[in-house]
Structure 1
Amino acid sequence: MIDPMISLAFTLHSKKGAYALMLGSGISRSSGIPTGWEITLQLATQAAALDGDEAKDPVNWYRTKFGGDPDYGELLNMLYKAPSERSQFLRGYFEPTPVELERNLKTPTPAHRAIARLVQSGVFRVIITTNFDRLLEKALDEIGVTPTVISNSDSLQGAMPYVHSTCTIIKVHGDYLDTRIKNTGPELETYDESMNILLNRIFDEFGIITCGWSAAWDTALRAVFERCNTHRFTTFWTTVGEMNEQTQRLISLRRAEVIRISSADHFFGTLEEKISALEDLQQPHPLSAKVAVANLKRYIADDRFNIKLHDLVLEEALRAHSLSQESSGSLRESFSNEILARRLAKYETDNSILIELMATGAYWGKPSHSSIWSKAFQIISDTKQHDGLVIWLNLQLYPTLLITYASGIAALASNNLSHLKHILIGTPIPSNRRNGDEYPLCLVASSPRIFEQELGKHIPGLERRRTPVSDHLFNVLREPLMGLIPRDSEYQKLFVRFEYYFALIHADLLERDRGDDRFWGPIGQFGWRYEMDAIQMVLNREIEQLNDKHPLLLANFFDSSIERLLKVKKGIDNIVGNLHWH
């Protein structure tokens, strides 16, 4: 027999919006708002005290006094005659004190928030509740969903039809701030004709899922169940413990599926997870970068999706790496310009989705996501072949170079220098040499290391360029970064700034490793783009204005030392000056 919980998840996933929720006081139990029975016991205790009896067992006191079990409605009517008095009395049960707020009491529960997210995703559109509290409305408001709330005949007359509303909440007993709330037995025996008509339609047109409702007190609501003769959809009835006689009769009448649960929080949390898992199973592979990036943005924005973010990025890194390894083909293949162009194009295609994912992550990501980007770099940089033509062996790291540039430029575009430091210095990458030693990404993914022996000048169309590899990367990465950096002029400035920063950081690390007071870094387009706004001049002005508050130093590059930065900068600028490219 199929687990009813699994059956329910499949039903809701395949028939979004076809089921209405019927919620009772049990849904708010973990928030510290008492159930009707608990309020009844407190009322019985108060009544006993007024009668001069300090009853330790209010149930026995009531039985002795009135000849039956405590009745919520009778007790409330006995102690608070007017509806306004009852409303004022109930405020204390629903509105948190400052101390309760600090303890997250009388605030939306995990169940309320799970329901709100299910509403947001279209699973539920209609919710019927006997509760006076506003916890569900608060949970919906937290995620930007504004429901239509019907709590009396007046609000029903002016309400948006539920077929046109994202979410309709029907509070059959009213709202605790409304003096027309229904509490007593006589009040709970009947509804206004307009409310009965609405409920009859909903029970006829929707499947019903109950949670936290005992059916014990609500005569009029039980009558709605009894009047409904149609069975368009299965009724699902959740229960925590033993069911009373009224509940059992309604379950039999509706031929309902009973789901035994430990709590409303666990039930709705599990239900949301199962529906989400079904949606994931039906999601197509992100064949386009656009779909992948959309998913990435959604996962980055909500820490609940950290696992999905991790899996999305690393699965794409593994897929891209596998394709890149296939693209490498025979590393003993003879060299030609045509074969070089073909290999570059294939690497670029194989990694196109990952390039956009990593750039988007660099732009929007949080520090807590850092390990994900590092793992992706390590996956894509894992070169397994060590025999063949040196040119092809080195070119295995071309995907790493592409992603380093894309991530670095995107990080600069969002002023995320801490991310830039993490990927360039904080991400260890195995060398593609046989010894397998690890080095900071900045030392491994440099264009001269990957494109040795003037290889860049063999890229078709770039034979006469001063920086052919930089120029090729500039052209290749323009399209995938268009969504983050739409203006061409801004893209050019960020590209040149990244290459200049990369050269400075590379030179700093290399000199520290050698300890020879000599500075060298890969020279990119900044070597010949020597205009009035050349990056060398711009950085000079920034250092003069900001001193040790420059973003590079605040991100702890160059040990946060302005003297070290200026020393490295002088070394790289001297190299550029000796090239005489301007």
Structure 2
Amino acid sequence: MENESVVGTVAVPARGLIEPAMAMALNVHSSPGVYALLLGAGVSIASGVKTGWGVVQDIVGQIAAVRDPDNPDARSEAMADPETWWEAATSEPLGYSALLAAAAPMPASRQAMLARYFEPEEGQDDSKGPTAAHRAIAQLVKRGSVRVILTTNFDRLTERALQEVGISPQVVSRPDQIKGIKPLTHSQVTVIKLHGDYADLEQRNTVDELDTYPDELQQLLNRVLDEYGLIVCGWSADWDKALVQAVEGTRSRRYPLFWSQYGRFSDAAKALTAQHDAVVIDGKNADELFTDLVRRIEALDRLTTAPITRDVAVVQLKRALPDPLRRIELFDLVDQAVTQITDPATAEHKPVSSPPGAWADTFGSNVRGYRADSEVLLHLLATGVFHDDGVHDRVWQRAVEQLLRLRDTTPSPFHEALEILRHLPALLATWTIGVAAVLSRREELLASTLYRPEWAVSHSGHSRLGPAWSLNPLRVLDTGSLHDMHHLRGGGKCIYPQSNWLKDTLREPFQLVEPSDTAYQAACARFEFLTSMVAMDNSSDFRAVPWSGEFFLDSFWGYDGHGLAATIEAELTDTWPLLRAGAFGGELSRAQKSLAALTEWKAKHGRGW
């Protein structure tokens, strides 16, 4: 195997002011691929999988029970000291191979005996599965933070967690495999099972078997310990003499050693940590250690990673959307796009007050700023909702929920039109989701998009209302100020400036999914119409206000039994998608009443109200 070295900029492990867990995160983040993991039995304990020694004890106990069936204590006595019992019964030292040969001499029976200790039972897929620690480790591998994993465990939980996120690990469980492996730096991840795999007869488990390693394995282990930093978790150092000696024999470490200790700290562990001046992380179990590490590294990512560009984000979305294994990646992608909006949405960057006479300019500046900040998210929503089949609807809705919170606190002093404008990103997102749902013929999505999430001004005593009411464009976008910043091409004023501006500013994100301007405009009008029907579905007359939209124009609404209004009236049956999804309380009569109220509003108020 060719010699390759691991290089990288390494942070110095901190002492004093910086907590050990923080120091580990800083080091791992600054040096991707430099740190190897050493995982012991403590990593798998939460899964319900027995340790290798636990399997030996159990099998010896079973053999003792069938050997002496009249003795009810035979099993417990043998399990208390398996090695002594075995030598007394067989005149031979206890070894894993000899034990399995005695208990299950044929390969098929041996595999069946071992599988029940390590694989989920039939009908219980969630048993003996990867823990939160294993899944966090898989995320560290996926992001390139970890490329080598040493483990004393027989189970395949690490491999299964890696496969769940689409990674096929290079696994070494026998010395004869080492010669043909890829160089460690050329493999996405290499899992080195120091004591073997549960299905191999070459497992090392008893005290004698753990006294030394085969030469090939010893050389590979020494190389990892020399060339990589090390994060130890779940390993007591009590029984693995060969591994203890290997760590002891490592020359002055090139990179720091982090040792996570939960529970009793053995004398051997104390000696190793003292010898290598290790950073000890005390009081965290494996799940807590690795999930916390991922969380801290992601926080550092947000500080150092440039915002993702619009086109790259859409490409990543299209790759992740149909792949169930990449659902977290899609979630993070949308979440990052939301952060690009919320982070700069401060009073410093988007003022909510201004000098007398200047607030209209501030309004225009804020509108343009919110729209620019929302660019990536709007493209993700237009493409994602259009191509989704409903699997990720909660992700789209969560984006609106996060944006609504921009008004959860009330700054002081503030100008009302500028303060309410903080809901513009949520309005843009809701409009985009709604129009995409109409274009993709998934209008049942509107039943959740327009009713949830609910929002009300904090400590106001007002009822919490869904986006159909809280995000009415007539309220979010001040009409006079919008007239000042948005004109028709000839310079005239729009009849419905909010509707016209929203339709124009959101045209570009829909170019990829609907190139036809006519189809896009029709979808916008239909979304406005349906949203206004929902808005009219309110027992309080002062809240039953439609969205001021161009759908009111005869060119969309229609007349003489033709057009959008007549089309929707004809659709109103018990099987209408919005009703089946829960809109209007699922009651046809309520939907019909809302349509009648909307029609009456149009007749009463006419154009340009």
With normalisation by structure 2, the TM-score equals: 0.71
Change (3 A) 1:81 1:325: closer
Change (3 A) 1:162 1:485: farther
Q: What is residue 172 of structure 1 aligned with on the other side?
A: 194
1:272 aligned to 294, 297, 302, which one? 294
CA contact (8 A) 2:499 2:548 kept: no
Residue identity in the other structure for 1:116: A
Q: What is residue 541 of structure 2 aligned with on the other side?
A: 513
| Farther-moved stretch of structure 1 (104-113 vs 533-542) | 533-542
Q: Deviations over 1:239-274 (max 9, x none)?
A: 445555655555555454444445333333333344
The answer as to 2:431 corresponding to 1:404 is no
Q: What is residue 326 of structure 1 aligned with on the other side?
A: 351
Q: CA–CA distance in 1 between the matches of 2:537 and 2:81?
A: 84
The answer as to 2:533 corresponding to 1:504 is yes
Q: What is residue 347 of structure 1 aligned with on the other side?
A: 367
Deviation at 1:126, TM superposition (A): 0.2
Q: CA–CA distance in 2 between the matches of 1:72 and 1:274?
A: 51
Q: CA–CA distance in 2 between the matches of 1:60 and 1:564?
A: 72
Change (3 A) 1:45 1:545: same
Change (3 A) 1:79 1:211: same
1:26 aligned to 26, 42, 67, which one? 42
Match runs of 1:278-289 below 5 Å: 278-280=300-302, 282=304
CA contact (8 A) 2:378 2:428 kept: no
Q: CA–CA distance in 2 between the matches of 1:110 and 1:436?
A: 41
Q: Deviations over 1:293-316 (max 9, x none)?
A: 999999x9549989x95x995995
Residue identity in the other structure for 1:268: F
Q: CA–CA distance in 2 between the matches of 1:459 and 1:66?
A: 88
Change (3 A) 1:149 1:84: farther
**How many residues get paired?**
558
The answer as to 2:189 corresponding to 1:162 is no
Q: What is residue 522 of structure 1 aligned with on the other side?
A: 548
The answer as to 2:160 corresponding to 1:138 is yes
CA contact (8 A) 1:27 1:211 kept: yes
Q: CA–CA distance in 2 between the matches of 1:278 and 1:325?
A: 26
Q: Deviations over 1:516-572 (max 9, x none)?
A: xx9976341551534999997356446545622223333444454445545554665
| Farther-moved stretch of structure 1 (443-452 vs 151-160) | 443-452
Q: CA–CA distance in 1 between the matches of 2:561 and 2:92?
A: 77
Change (3 A) 1:203 1:463: same
Deviation at 1:215, TM superposition (A): 4.0
List runs of 5+ in structure 1 lacking aligned partners. 334-338
Q: What is residue 130 of structure 2 aligned with on the other side?
A: 108
Q: CA–CA distance in 1 between the matches of 2:83 and 2:471?
A: 82
Q: Secondary structure of 1:42's match?
A: helix
Change (3 A) 1:533 1:303: farther
Change (3 A) 1:448 1:41: closer
List runs of 5+ in structure 2 lacking aligned partners. 1-14, 321-325, 386-391
Q: CA–CA distance in 2 between the matches of 1:132 and 1:402?
A: 51
Deviation at 1:225, TM superposition (A): 3.1
Change (3 A) 1:356 1:347: same
Match runs of 1:225-244 below 5 Å: 225-242=247-264
Q: What is residue 502 of structure 2 aligned with on the other side?
A: 473
Change (3 A) 1:535 1:155: farther
Q: What is residue 95 of structure 1 aligned with on the other side?
A: 119
Residue identity in the other structure for 2:118: F
Deviation at 1:17, TM superposition (A): 1.3
| Farther-moved stretch of structure 1 (289-298 vs 447-456) | 289-298
Match runs of 1:545-560 below 5 Å: 547-560=573-586
Change (3 A) 1:550 1:202: same
Change (3 A) 1:135 1:534: farther
Match runs of 1:366-445 below 5 Å: 366=393, 373=400, 376-377=403-404, 379-380=406-407, 397=420, 400=423, 403-404=426-427, 406-414=429-437, 415=442, 416-422=445-451, 426-428=454-456, 442=468
Change (3 A) 1:534 1:187: farther
Deviation at 1:340, TM superposition (A): 5.5
Q: CA–CA distance in 1 between the matches of 2:349 and 2:525?
A: 27
CA contact (8 A) 1:132 1:173 kept: yes
Match runs of 1:187-336 below 5 Å: 187-242=209-264, 247=269, 250-251=272-273, 254-261=276-283, 263-280=285-302, 282=304, 302=328, 316=341, 319-320=344-345, 322=347, 326=351, 329-332=354-357
Q: Deviations over 1:425-461 (max 9, x none)?
A: x44469xxx9989877655755666656898488444
Q: What is residue 94 of structure 2 aligned with on the other side?
A: 74
Q: CA–CA distance in 1 between the matches of 2:313 and 2:168?
A: 29
Q: Secondary structure of 2:45's match?
A: helix
Q: CA–CA distance in 2 between the matches of 1:238 and 1:395?
A: 51
Q: CA–CA distance in 2 between the matches of 1:290 and 1:72?
A: 68
Q: What is residue 118 of structure 1 aligned with on the other side?
A: 140
Change (3 A) 1:162 1:534: farther
| Farther-moved stretch of structure 1 (554-563 vs 378-387) | 378-387
| Farther-moved stretch of structure 1 (378-387 vs 406-415) | 378-387
Change (3 A) 1:488 1:140: farther
CA contact (8 A) 1:188 1:219 kept: yes
Q: CA–CA distance in 2 between the matches of 1:535 and 1:148?
A: 68
Deviation at 1:209, TM superposition (A): 2.5
Q: Deviations over 1:9-29 (max 9, x none)?
A: 332222221111122233222
Q: Deviations over 1:345-386 (max 9, x none)?
A: 442324542576588679667559868745744744988899
Residue identity in the other structure for 1:404: L
Residue identity in the other structure for 1:322: A
Residue identity in the other structure for 2:541: D
Change (3 A) 1:115 1:346: closer
With normalisation by structure 1, the TM-score equals: 0.74
The answer as to 2:40 corresponding to 1:14 is no
CA contact (8 A) 1:296 1:357 kept: no
Deviation at 1:153, TM superposition (A): 4.1
Q: Deviations over 1:466-505 (max 9, x none)?
A: 5444333322233456677676455323222222234434
